Amino acid sequence: MTHERDLTGGSEPRIRVLPELVKNQIAAGEVIERPASVVKELVENALDAGATRLVLDLEEGGAKLVRLVDDGVGMGEADLRLAFHPHATSKLADAADLEHIATLGFRGEALASMGSVARCRLFSRPRGAALGAELENEGGKVSAVRSAGGAEGTRIEVRDLFYNTPARRRFLKTTATELARCLDVVQRLALAHVGVGFVVTHDGRRVFDVEAGMDLGARIRRIFGAELASGLVPVGELWQGIELRGYVAPPRFAARDTSRQVWCLNGRPVRDKLLVRVLKEAYRGYLIDARQPAAVLSLALDPARVDVNVHPAKSEVRFRDERALFGFLVAALRKAVAATDMATPGEGLLAVAERREAWSARFAPPSAGSAATTSFEFDRAGAIAERSPLRPAHERQAEFRDAAPFVPEPPLAPRPSFAAAAEPEPPLVIAAREVSARPGERRELDELAGPFLQIAKTYLVRATADGFEIVDQHALHERINFELLREAAATGRVALQRLLAPELVEITRAQAELVDEHREAFAKLGLELERFGPTTAAVHGVPARLAKPDVSALVRDVLALVEESGRAPDAPELFEEVLHRAACRASVMAGDPLSEDEIRELFARGRGLSSDQTCPHARPTRVRFTLADLEKAFHRR
Ligand code: ADP
Ligand code: MG
């Protein structure tokens, strides 16, 4: 150790008051974390100065230069002399002022902090003054103030951020990331301050602007795009002196994170857990849990009712009486959310609908497959044309339900299963096993006659010779497809059906490598893949035995599996699992409405399978009830 500690308590004091520069650098650690914090502090100062037009120039994501020019009230020479002084501010006079802060700044720390970790130059000319003045602060060394020419307002340049604190400089991310953060800050402030114009350039190119005259709707459109903006529903409510205004977007614009949520409190963009929860609650039931809704909202209330001095960056706040506020906000927002247009399908929904409607053709015999079916599947426009004459699924559903009520077999019909065996009624488990073990033909006759009933678009009910059964449509279809593939694979190579046009599938970089590496192994499994770009695979062929698979989902699933396991797709341990994923993606899903003919076709294909009781992952495909069970349930015996 080079620094021996003196623990003897000598006459020299060990405690020192830190030099001003070190104090400021420590403070800077809290206020100035990255270029975006510089941008935030400078823009806030300009807004506090009453500016209506701000021009922000950035270089290298703000790390090399942040320059802001505003048309605010400006500073005289006396003010300039104090501006870089720590805890020097024009916005507070005494402790009582802290109780009702109406400006964005008030701590007097920002300029001093920046000056200690960058090379700053500040010019200002008060409104109406004949001349301006300027001074510099380079790493804490403040120059004298001297007169200088320039426009009314203030211009501040912050260069070479963290040039004298290399440890911090190393924490900066790429230029693109830092720029994105700077833009996020500016855009949130631009949403909070309608009436103020903003221009942002980066390395000389204009990257963002809003004119002073653009209203909130126009600003949202500029920042989040026309599609989101066109779906907005306005909110405007007043409760106990608290005003809530802004817009909520339909649930389909939700994002994985809160990047599409903007909350402003008295003109200050805030990120607050309470407000995130408010939105979650307002969208409850309209949105799955993992998603965060899109909304731009502002709250105006008496500054005395909220504490913004919780954190140096002032992005977190504390409300007095959170509970009541929460209730008011949720109620007001829920009304607006319910009024959004939830029906308009997004891209994903369309794709699902397309798949559902294409389903009828899926049971076409393999021989009829190839060219015609393929063009149907892969020509989006064609698929849509094909779909349009069909009535909506729910209509067909209702009709089917009326036409085909569940009617059990006549009670007097002979029961071949048990008549043959001259023994008392066997228990359920044995009965089920016996039924499935019996040769196919004997139950086909009964079981394919119908009628059938589809419940919750997932379960199929049909009468059997001695009771009824409930079948999971996806599990059964998956098992059928799996057996087809396994049969095909038994020949050593799964026959492949070439697509008329290759389908492009977005994959990860790592998966693209796998496509190249295992090309031949995929081909053995009936998948002809080719790397098409750094993150794209072209699919040229799929297993011939699968009618109408969801190609991109299939390829992505299989690649993910290969990636996870680190093995070749045709490795013995992986092989069955690959076939299973493929089978899954070529199967009807839970939630797909089926017509009676489709149900019959599915059952027909399922008959004669030796292992039709479970899906390839051992979930049961069907649950059976015998008459004996029913009799027991109804206390008939
Ligand atoms: P704070 O904003 O918390 O007061 P700052 O360090 O950000 O502290 O700024 C110090 C003071 O400098 C401000 O109180 C304000 O009087 C003055 N000032 C800073 N930027 C501007 C500006 N763009 N226009 C006018 N005055 C400014
Ligand atoms: Mg400030």
CATH number of the domain to which 204 belongs? 3.30.565.10
pLDDT of the residue at 431: 29
The ligand 1 atom nearest the CA atom of 88: 10
| Same domain assignment for residues 167 and 127 | yes
The ligand 1 atom nearest the CA atom of 46: 23
27-34 mean pLDDT: 83
Q: Whose CA is nearest to atom 25 of ligand 1?
A: 74
Q: Would residue 346 count as lying in a domain?
A: no
**Cβ of 108 less than 6 Å from ligand 1:** yes
341-355 mean pLDDT: 49
| Same domain assignment for residues 30 and 176 | yes
- pLDDT band per the 50, 70, 90 thresholds, residue 374: very low
**Cβ of 111 less than 6 Å from ligand 1:** yes
555-560 mean pLDDT: 91
Q: Would residue 370 count as lying in a domain?
A: no
CATH number of the domain to which 283 belongs? 3.30.230.10
| Same domain assignment for residues 195 and 301 | no
Which residue range is the domain that position 594 belongs to?
Answer: 421-637
Which of 24, 44, 71, 89 to probe ligand 1 with, by most ligand atoms within 8 A of CB?
Answer: 89
Domain count for the chain, please give it. 3
Q: Would residue 405 count as lying in a domain?
A: no
pTM, to two decimals: 0.58
- pLDDT band per the 50, 70, 90 thresholds, residue 537: very high
| Same domain assignment for residues 191 and 291 | no
Higher pLDDT, 86 or 398: 86
Q: Would residue 353 count as lying in a domain?
A: no
- Spell out the alpha helix ranges (H) of 471-518: 473-489, 509-517
- pLDDT band per the 50, 70, 90 thresholds, residue 418: very low
pLDDT of the residue at 313: 65
306-326 mean pLDDT: 80
Cα of 209 from ligand 2 centre, angstroms = 22
Q: What is the residue whose two structure tokens read 């909202």?
A: 297
| Same domain assignment for residues 478 and 619 | yes
Strand pairing of 295-300 and 261-265? parallel
Q: Which of 322, 338, 354 is the last residue of a domain?
A: 338
pLDDT of the residue at 416: 24
Radius of gyration for the alpha carbons in the chain, expressed in angstroms and rounded:
35
The candidate with the shortest Cα–Cα distance to 321, out of 341, 301, 343, is: 301
pLDDT of the residue at 62: 98
- Give the up-direction half-sphere exposure of residue 175: CA atoms within 13 A in the CB hemisphere: 8
pLDDT of the residue at 222: 95
Q: Would residue 394 count as lying in a domain?
A: no
**Position 449 pLDDT exceeds 90:** no
433-461 mean pLDDT: 64
- Spell out the alpha helix ranges (H) of 3-129: 20-31, 35-48, 77-83, 110-117
316-345 mean pLDDT: 84
191-237 pLDDT, tens digit per residue, is 999 999 999 999 999 999 999 999 999 999 999 998 899 889 999 99
**Cβ of 72 less than 6 Å from ligand 1:** yes
114-136 pLDDT, tens digit per residue, is 999 999 999 999 999 999 999 99
| Same domain assignment for residues 206 and 231 | no
| Same domain assignment for residues 206 and 220 | no
**Position 5 pLDDT exceeds 80:** no
Q: Would residue 555 count as lying in a domain?
A: yes
pLDDT of the residue at 573: 78
pLDDT of the residue at 428: 29
Cα of 92 from ligand 1 centre, angstroms = 11
φ, ψ for residue 468, nearest 5 deg: -150, 165
The ligand 1 atom nearest the CA atom of 89: 14
* Of 146-155, 353-362, 549-558, minimum mean pLDDT range: 353-362
| Same domain assignment for residues 103 and 229 | no
pLDDT of the residue at 300: 94
Helices 35-48 and 110-117, axial angle in degrees (round to 10): 140
Q: Which of 294, 318, 338 is the last residue of a domain?
A: 338
pLDDT of the residue at 565: 86
- pLDDT band per the 50, 70, 90 thresholds, residue 566: confident
Strand pairing of 153-159 and 119-125? antiparallel
Q: Measured between alpha carbons, how far is residue 186 from residues 39, 159, 199 in Å?
A: 8, 19, 9
Q: Would residue 90 count as lying in a domain?
A: yes
**Cβ of 245 less than 6 Å from ligand 1:** no
| Same domain assignment for residues 304 and 202 | no
pLDDT of the residue at 408: 29
pLDDT of the residue at 3: 55
Q: What is the distance between the alpha carbons of residues 111 and 68, in angstroms, rounded to a whole number?
A: 13
- Residues of the chain with pLDDT > 90, as a percent, come to 45
pLDDT of the residue at 469: 83
pLDDT of the residue at 394: 37
**Cβ of 91 less than 6 Å from ligand 1:** yes
The ligand 1 atom nearest the CA atom of 103: 2
Q: What is the distance between the alpha carbons of residues 384 and 374, in angstroms, rounded to a whole number?
A: 14
List the beta bridge partners of residue 68.
Answer: 56, 156
Q: Would residue 591 count as lying in a domain?
A: yes
* Of 142-146, 188-192, 241-245, 572-576, minimum mean pLDDT range: 572-576
**Cβ of 101 less than 6 Å from ligand 1:** no
541 close to 494: Cβ distance less than 8 angstroms: no
**Position 466 pLDDT exceeds 70:** yes
Which of 103, 111, 142 to probe ligand 1 with, by most ligand atoms within 8 A of CB?
Answer: 111
| Same domain assignment for residues 196 and 306 | no
Q: Measured between alpha carbons, how far is residue 548 from residues 44, 145, 373, 569 in Å?
A: 57, 77, 8, 22
**Cβ of 41 less than 6 Å from ligand 1:** yes
List CB contacts of 63: < 8 A, sequence separation 6 or more.
35, 160, 161, 162, 169, 172, 175, 178
**Cβ of 105 less than 6 Å from ligand 1:** yes
**Cβ of 529 less than 6 Å from ligand 1:** no
**Cβ of 543 less than 6 Å from ligand 1:** no
| Same domain assignment for residues 235 and 146 | no
pLDDT of the residue at 312: 65
**Cβ of 526 less than 6 Å from ligand 1:** no
CATH number of the domain to which 515 belongs? 3.30.1370.100
Q: Which of 338, 369, 392 is the last residue of a domain?
A: 338
Q: Is 497 helix (H, G, I), strand (E, B) or coil?
A: strand
Enter the DSSP assignment of 619: -
Q: What is the distance between the alpha carbons of residues 583 and 546, in angstroms, rounded to a whole number?
A: 8
pLDDT of the residue at 612: 66
List CB contacts of 245: < 8 A, sequence separation 6 or more.
235, 236, 297, 298, 300
- Which ligand lies nearest to the CA atom of residue 107 in the structure? 1
| Same domain assignment for residues 264 and 187 | no
Q: Is 380 helix (H, G, I), strand (E, B) or coil?
A: helix
φ, ψ for residue 229, nearest 5 deg: -60, -35
